[in-house]
Structure 1
Amino acid sequence: MRITGPLLYVTPTGPAAAPGGRAKLSRLHQMLLRDLLGDGFHRFMLPDRGARPVDAILHGHIDGIDRDSLAALTDTVERERIAQLFLDGSNLGVAAQAIKRSHPGVRVVTFCHNVEARFFWGALRARATPRALAILAANARAEHAAMRSSDTVVCLSARDSKLLQRLYRHGADAIVPMVMEDIRRAETPPRPVAEPYLLFVGGSFYANRDAVRWYADTIAPALPIATMVVGHGMDQIAAAPNMTMVGTVDDIAPWYAHALAVVAPIRDGSGMKTKVAEALMFGKQVIGTAEAFSGYDRTVVAANRQCDEPASFRRAIDAICADPPPAFDPAIRLLYERFHAPAVARRGLAAILSA
């Protein structure tokens, strides 16, 4: 495959960003594109400054996009003779719009981590405030600009593509699913806690908070095993019976390595859930909802346990407690290697950029 270059990767995500799923995927994409393009890879970091509300809503100026950063982006495109622009999110659509106006010959590829309008609609429903409404409006405007100005739209899943088609009449031109850098170590790390436990992993955004509260109210109290909740900001959630809100940890590997299984009681959101791919990487079975498994291959769902009601969740956990799975299941790990390892994304990105 021959990739037309040079390529400019535009992102608001810096090396010091919180280690959430979006930031991890962004860093991995940058690593893969740098490997594919060598000296033809360039990166443009959007500035970390807040948007003015009026500019955000009226013009889609969010995530560091404003008149100054657009001017700097245009200068970079000219100076480096950029042939392809790769946008790290559909909320950067105003950048696509600006470059298409000034340099119509530059190919614009937009990678959609979520359908942003759907994601922020969920956040608004979870907490209806004027600020949440303004954020939804700003992201929807920016995403609309991305769909109108991109030559190639890339999604994580067919579901996201269908929703983009319904909202903006432009679905995905390619689908590259969630991938994870392989951080599993060959040696078994020390146990983080003494007793057996289930594991929930995720940062403190609305869908994860909702999932933990629902699980705490309807599932956890009746279980014969405790659940550890690990993730940035999750220790701020009120304590619940049979659950420990651990919060941020320096190393996630020991928590996965010694968990009996991973729970993913997600009921809302967009894109694909990082926690499922991460569990597969560590050879751990997942007990999750249909939303948690959205975008994953049917063989992944069949190898794990899909449960959408509290009673079925409790039965699945009781069954695992009665007959514990292996600490590392090679069959589960093979699903990661087949569908969600970096090589999968490398092939997908190479095909897109050489089209």
Structure 2
Amino acid sequence: MLTLTTTDISLAQTHTDKLSAIDFLAQQLTQRGLVKADYVQGMKNREAQNSTYLGNGIAIPHGTTDTRHLVEKTGVAIAHFPNGIDWGEGNRVYLAIGIAAKSDEHLGILKQLTKVLSADGVEQALKNAKNEQEIIALLEGNTQLSINFDASQIQLDFPASDMVQMTAVAAGLLKNSGCASSELVADFVSQSPTHLGEGVWLACSSKGVSQSGMSFVTTANQCRYEQQDVRTLIGFAACNSAHHSQLKTITEMLGNGEIGKLNTLNVLQLLSMFGDSTPDESQPTDSSNSQTFTIKNAHGLHARPGAMLVACAKKFDAAIAVRNLDTDSQQVNAKSLMKVIALGVKHGHKLEFSADGHDAQAALEAIGQAIQSGLGEG
């Protein structure tokens, strides 16, 4: 596990192009004794082979495999560009992470970094970061960027007979998810929720909240409160702005006269509407369209072969998911470079690909051929 410090980060950089930025990062790595001076050419050669842009305003310039002998010690140098820098192909970078790694340990660094950089809102948060501590908090996953909301925070058709029971259940779901303490439960039960119309109510509290979260409760009974029907209660635990997107969705439904639709949605529909999972990752795949391939690359799926794999997957319309059988990972979107690299794939690891769509079989065959050929590394 790489521990970031404020000395790893250079703020307010204003380089005009990515080669200038790479020169700066190489200089930082050299001055700190992580690499020898000639490592900079390896970083530029690597960039010429394939862009190190990952997405979400982040690039990870690093050397080629034949310049690893120039690495003295594993580490990183990070440059922050508040105004952004053109990284080619229309991509703008706000944070460049120069990596020095002696062997496969760089996969651990990439996995640590990319795992927390796939969430919505990262790019804007990096752009607006004011100090080293904010950047470290973002990279280490200590900054909440999306609301805490999953299936465990949804209770449909609860046999409630009054609003007190509804608010107690909504608050209990937030407490059990780790978003808040008993203080929020007491506040929910004692307050009067807001009626949004058509039996949909809203309760919100900031008391005892450690993470912003959302709960959703419907009742199976005929229930009334303040002479109005009660069918659905939405609960928010709020301590930051992570719930603003969900509030915006609710406001838009109100404006369009569609708030009553919330009374009819199932769990998957609610997660699709309010959760932070992307559709291409949550789609079910046909188990008959699954194949397992062994990675032959000596240094695993670092950025270059990872990019080749993703480029192959993107040629097809099918939804393609992949998981690392050797680490028992969850399925991720095979068309996302950040998430593929985050699997931490090393030489010999077995990847299981599942595809769903009219060209699913063709996609799996092409991926297998690309892996067999070495993903651009022979």
- Per the TM superposition, whether the score is higher than 0.5 is no
* Larger radius of gyration between Structure 1 and Structure 2: 2
Which one has a larger percent strand, Structure 1 or Structure 2?
2
The answer to which structure, 1 or 2, has the higher relative contact order (CA under 8 A, 6+ apart) is 1
Normalised to the residue count of structure 1, the TM-score between the two structures is 0.27
Normalised to the residue count of structure 2, the TM-score between the two structures is 0.26
